[in-house]
Structure 1
Amino acid sequence: MSTLVLALVAGAVVGLTLGGLGGGGSMLTVPALIYLLGFTPAHAGTAALLIVAVTSLTGLFAHARAGRVRWRTGLLFAAAGLPVAAAAGALSARLPPGLLTVAFAVLAALAAWRMLAQARTPEDGARPADTPRTPADTARHHRGPGPDDTTATPTAGGGPARSAAAGAGLGAVTGLLGVGGGFLAVPALVSVLAFTMAEAVGTSLLVISANSLAALVPRLGSTGALDWAVVAPFTAAAVLGAWDGKRLAERFSGRTLRTVFAAALIAVAALMLVDALV
């Protein structure tokens, strides 16, 4: 199979994941670039940040049109991670490729475990895609962000400090490993800020876009030139896939999507650990 076809297929899968789950696309982008398209871990991380940033912005636009983005809260959440993402992005260029590969594999395994655990429990205040809206849901959907956008009532144990810590941790992961961190942002927005799952998915794309761009800047001058013959078609396919991913999220429950994605992450983690340790 040609490099172009591989880039298009991998990009489409990444876009579907980002559009459907509000994150997780970079967990597939990095290994796809390394094992299918021959990138080094450092170049894969840089290219993944670019691909995920562009794709997330596209998905963000689609979710914003549907009224699923809490703009002010999302920007505040992202702001806590921006400086950390930039610093971690600069640090990543100085770390051994093998260490980055192992760290990524461990992170992928933890993300899969978390998603499988979530799939066995009720959806944190969210509805499956096939459940009708209640009148209150419909009113909230059409109202859009209101004065309470920045002051959503947190669940027990939540608060500004925890929210800032979650944003900073997300920025560190984004900068260091080249992942957007949506698989961390979505549960944090649900548990810390009491978002519905639909709002968390849409708002996470705002957080991912900001963190990815912040982490990308310090990497651009340190990892060398990217192979645009691969990156460009990969990104284009991911952008188109993100639009279909939004429709996928409306058709299937979040539980089903998380279970399928978790299985893919387990396979990715096993592959990367074997490659790094054997």
Structure 2
Amino acid sequence: MIVSSILGLLVGVVLGLTGAGGGILAVPALVFGMGWTMQQATPVALIAVAGGAAVGAVEGLRKRLVRWRAALLMALAAFPCTFLGVHSAHQLPQRWLIGIFAAVMLLVAARLLGGARRNAEPATESSMALARIDAKTGRIHWTWPTAALIAAIGAVTGFMTGLLGVGGGFVIVPLLRRYSGVSMHGVVATSLMVIAAVSSGGVAIALLHGAVLPLPATAWFAGATAAGMLLGRRLVKTLSARQVQYGFALVLALVACGLLVKSLAAI
């Protein structure tokens, strides 16, 4: 239980520091640290990510940062795609899943490095914003293209959640920042709300597919992740956004390389 607690604490700290993307490390932590397959690690990781995201989402709700209509639409669009992702994960060989996961981590790392180098905050409202903010009400101006965009983001998030056991913050955050006028704080808070809901649904779907939860390890990992989330939220005040991006990108790249080695060794 000590190993699962340490792993959960580390994942939670990264989740707290990055706001939404740290959950991508939960599955690799369990694969390397506990020696599990991805199919075994996925439901445990999702429980931990859901708990950690819920902690951040509650904070966002208290501060009125969550765009709850967008979060609800994304969650509804995500659930059927999560089922498809879980089913696909059980059909693919282990080495393919590991290879796909590593590729996704490398893409996220590259995006983070690019953002850190530009060192510029995206404009609140851009010509590419399909989900615009009403200047009078401060709310999203809903149109059919807006609804289609939000639903599509939710669908991709749901599939990735089911396939790889990740929260999906690495999908939601960059797409909402690029195509909406929502502030960064609002994007992160909304993302955490969606992650909490979709990850919980992913656990239920995985259990329906025959996944078995090792209850003691799951409880310790999830509890430590929630504690680490709170610690990370405190630590983030001492670091710049650029430092967090560079550090997270480096960790992702190293873990991805380890996964690639593991995938090639399985051939």
Instruction: State the TM-score bracket (shorter-chain normalisation).
Output: 0.7 to 0.9
Q: Which runs of 5+ in 2 are unaligned?
A: 125-135
Q: 1:247 to 1:63 in 2, by over 3 A?
A: farther
Residue type matched to 1:120 in 2? R
- For the 8 Å contact 1:71–1:149, the answer to whether it is kept is no
Q: Which runs of 5+ in 1 are unaligned?
A: 127-145
Q: Structure 1: how far apart are the matches of 2:240 and 2:122?
A: 12
- C-alpha displacement at 1:148, in angstroms? 4.3
- C-alpha displacement at 1:209, in angstroms? 1.2
Q: 2:65 aligns with which of 64, 68, 80?
A: 68
Q: How many residues align?
A: 252
* CA displacement 1:172-220 (0-9 Å, x = unmatched): 1111111111012111121122222111111110111122122222211
- For the 8 Å contact 1:174–1:215, the answer to whether it is kept is yes
Q: Does 1:220 align with 2:207?
A: yes
Q: 1:100 aligns with which of 97, 101, 107?
A: 97
Q: Structure 1: how far apart are the matches of 2:38 and 2:89?
A: 10
* CA displacement 1:10-41 (0-9 Å, x = unmatched): 11121122223222233211111011112111
How much is the aligned-residue C-alpha RMSD, in angstroms? Answer: 2.1
- For the 8 Å contact 1:46–1:223, the answer to whether it is kept is no
Q: 1:151 to 1:244 in 2, by over 3 A?
A: farther
Q: Which residue of 2 aligns with 1:162?
A: 149
Q: Structure 1: how far apart are the matches of 2:17 and 2:185?
A: 10
Q: Which residue of 1 aligns with 2:236?
A: 249
Q: Which moved more, 1:74-83 or 1:193-202?
A: 74-83
- C-alpha displacement at 1:152, in angstroms? 7.5
Q: Which moved more, 1:41-50 or 1:11-20?
A: 11-20
- C-alpha displacement at 1:244, in angstroms? 2.2
Q: 1:107 to 1:223 in 2, by over 3 A?
A: farther
Q: Structure 2: how far apart are the matches of 1:78 and 1:251?
A: 33
Q: Which residue of 2 aligns with 1:131?
A: none
Q: SS of the residue aligned with 1:93? A: helix
Q: Which residue of 2 aligns with 1:130?
A: none
- For the 8 Å contact 1:21–1:201, the answer to whether it is kept is no
- C-alpha displacement at 1:245, in angstroms? 2.3
- For the 8 Å contact 1:57–1:209, the answer to whether it is kept is yes
Q: Which residue of 1 aligns with 2:110?
A: 113
Q: Which residue of 2 aligns with 1:198?
A: 185
Q: Which residue of 1 aligns with 2:131?
A: none
TM-score of the pair, normalised by structure 1: 0.83
Q: 2:141 aligns with which of 148, 151, 154?
A: 151
Q: Which residue of 2 aligns with 1:277?
A: 264
Residue type matched to 2:104 in 1? L
Q: 1:152 to 1:118 in 2, by over 3 A?
A: farther
- C-alpha displacement at 1:248, in angstroms? 3.1
Q: Structure 2: how far apart are the matches of 1:69 and 1:165?
A: 19
Q: Percent identity?
A: 36
TM-score of the pair, normalised by structure 2: 0.86
Residue type matched to 1:277 in 2? L
Q: Which residue of 2 aligns with 1:37?
A: 34
- For the 8 Å contact 1:42–1:223, the answer to whether it is kept is no
Q: Structure 2: how far apart are the matches of 1:152 and 1:241?
A: 36
Q: Structure 2: how far apart are the matches of 1:176 and 1:120?
A: 31
- For the 8 Å contact 2:73–2:150, the answer to whether it is kept is no
Q: Structure 1: how far apart are the matches of 2:36 and 2:14?
A: 21
- C-alpha displacement at 1:125, in angstroms? 4.3
Q: Structure 2: how far apart are the matches of 1:86 and 1:77?
A: 15
Q: Which residue of 1 aligns with 2:251?
A: 264
Q: SS of the residue aligned with 1:120? A: helix
Residue type matched to 1:247 in 2? R
Q: Structure 2: how far apart are the matches of 1:223 and 1:41?
A: 14
- For the 8 Å contact 1:86–1:216, the answer to whether it is kept is no
- C-alpha displacement at 1:265, in angstroms? 0.3
Q: Which moved more, 1:248-257 or 1:34-43?
A: 248-257
